[in-house]
Amino acid sequence: MDSNITEFYKNKTIFLTGGSGFLGKLIIEKLLRTTEVERIYMLIRPKRGEQIQSRMAVLRSNFMFSELLKLKANSLEKVIPIAGDCALPDLGLSEADRQVLTEEVQVVVHSAATVNFVEPLSSALSINTRATRLLVQLAKQMGRLEAFVHVSTAFSNCPVEHIRECFYPELLSCSADKVLALQDQLSCELIDQMTPALLGKFPNTYTYTKALAEQVLQREAADLPICIFRPGMILPSYKEPFKGCIDNLYGPIAISYGCAAGVLRLVYSKKEARSNIVPVDYCVNLVLSCAWQTAVETAQRRDPAPDPTIYNFAPTAQNPTTWGEISAWMEKYIRIYPVNQAIWFPFTILTSNLWLIKLLTLLYHHLPGFLIDTALRLKGQKPRMKKIYSRIHESFKMLVPFTFPNWTFEMGNSDRLLKLMSPQDRLKYEFDLNAVDWMHYLSIAIMGVRVYLLKEELTEESLQSARKLCKRFFIINCLVHFIACCIPVAILWWVYVKF
């Protein structure tokens, strides 16, 4: 007997936004690998003069589909591009494409978003909030719709310390209706100038516009078979389609990338704060599972639900992980999987002391960066470290709001969904974070960074070469620290003897 979820997707037509993103690509991969979907319509926009067919060709050649293509060689033919853009009126859809979607689609997964924390508010509103309203309006015209999953974020209500599976309209300084009306009436420049006043307690335009999108769903999607998925920080895959699968440099992955290369040596965070990281494959499994459950509940329900069901998804109180643990494990496994592209011995210092981080930044980032750039200039090469460290420090500023608070999350709906799933489904669409060995998972994530981001094969020859380099840098690092400690001691001794 096959699983209930696999059976649900048989011969279904899916409409997916954000299919070219990390989560989106793996949703496509899992659907095609484990179910017999009829087709997947994927919203995709022309990019930098590149037409959608050439973008689709690039997508189909992505390494994340390698396991899928071994099993089902022609499966990606089921992915049909639909020209559109979440930033445009009516999603940039043609009338013909709109008609196809309204007549055929049974499941909608809306995962498109700008995740840039410093995105101008005018742009973030269009992509994250207005596009959600347009998707809801489109979904209302879909005569065969059975489930709609909106991918939000665990941090959409981050001003609250304990985040329940409910809506928080009181956190917004202005309702979504009013903000979108303001956007219609004012120029982009004026909206962007109003950003501090509109954000209120929200740390950036990303979390704010995702909170607004949730309010749009609460107010306008009550008659739809809809649910909201709120994942934490999405990191490499734990198991599927293969271990350590990753293709981006967001959040903690950027930090591990910098540490592995020996460029980043400092992390500004509170050690005891919970990390709220989640494996991408578990996110994919929960998205597909909650769509199935939404369809089941809708079919059984006589009256519309008062609010869409919300699925928070972050490490549980029974199996938490902290930034201090993440930092220690990351350093350990970076040395087990060292890289040949490293420019120094990989080590990290994690601190929440602002004055200490400023002093250490001067010693461990600015000073080495200045020396390397000076050496490059003397060789007639273009200096680059100042620019690299500027980007690193800007990234730090964006991550600080997520590495200091100690959020906890209610996970009742996710737990309930697990209990409703058959044993086959729990294995095939696994997302139980209580069962995750976080230290083992970090080893997989670091291995993924080495293989899929730094493009270094996991061969014994490559590892041995990198380990020799790591040992060499370790000796040099110890020598530099010894000399650095001896200099002030020598100066103090000279002063003592002299006077």
Please compute the mean of the pLDDT values over residues 258-262 and round it to a whole number: 87
Q: What is the pLDDT of residues 210-228, one digit of tens each?
A: 999 999 999 999 889 999 9
Domain ranges for the chain, please list them. 4-245+275-318+407-430
How high is the pLDDT of residue 214? 97
Please compute the mean of the pLDDT values over residues 436-458 and round it to a whole number: 93
Judge contact between 28 and 16, C-beta under 8 A: yes
How high is the pLDDT of residue 302? 72
How high is the pLDDT of residue 381? 86
Can you list the alpha helix ranges (DSSP code H) found in 225-365? 252-260, 280-300, 323-336, 354-361
Can you list the alpha helix ranges (DSSP code H) found in 406-459? 412-420, 423-428, 438-448
Residues 6+ apart with CB under 8 A from 248: 22
Please compute the mean of the pLDDT values over residues 460-479 and round it to a whole number: 92
Q: What is the pLDDT of residues 51-73, one digit of tens each?
A: 788 888 888 889 999 999 999 98
CA angle, residues 9, 165, 168, in degrees to nearest 5: 125
How high is the pLDDT of residue 489? 78
Which helix H or strand E contains 235, and what residues bound it? strand 233-235
CATH fit for domain 4-245+275-318+407-430, picks 3.30.70.360, 3.30.750.24, 3.40.50.720, 3.40.50.11900? 3.40.50.720
Confidence (pTM): 0.93
CA distances from 134 to 108, 120, 222 (A): 13, 20, 15
Is residue 88 over pLDDT 80?
yes
Is residue 385 over pLDDT 90?
no
How high is the pLDDT of residue 317? 87
Is residue 496 over pLDDT 80?
no
CA distance 251 to 269: 13
Q: Where is pLDDT greater, at 182 or 401?
A: 182
How high is the pLDDT of residue 133? 97
CA distance 283 to 237: 9
Per-residue confidence at 49, pLDDT binned at 50, 70, 90?
low
Is residue 486 over pLDDT 70?
yes
Q: What is the mean pLDDT of the chain?
A: 91
CA distance 332 to 363: 23
Q: What is the pLDDT of residues 112-163, one digit of tens each?
A: 999 888 899 999 999 999 999 999 999 999 999 999 999 999 999 999 999 9
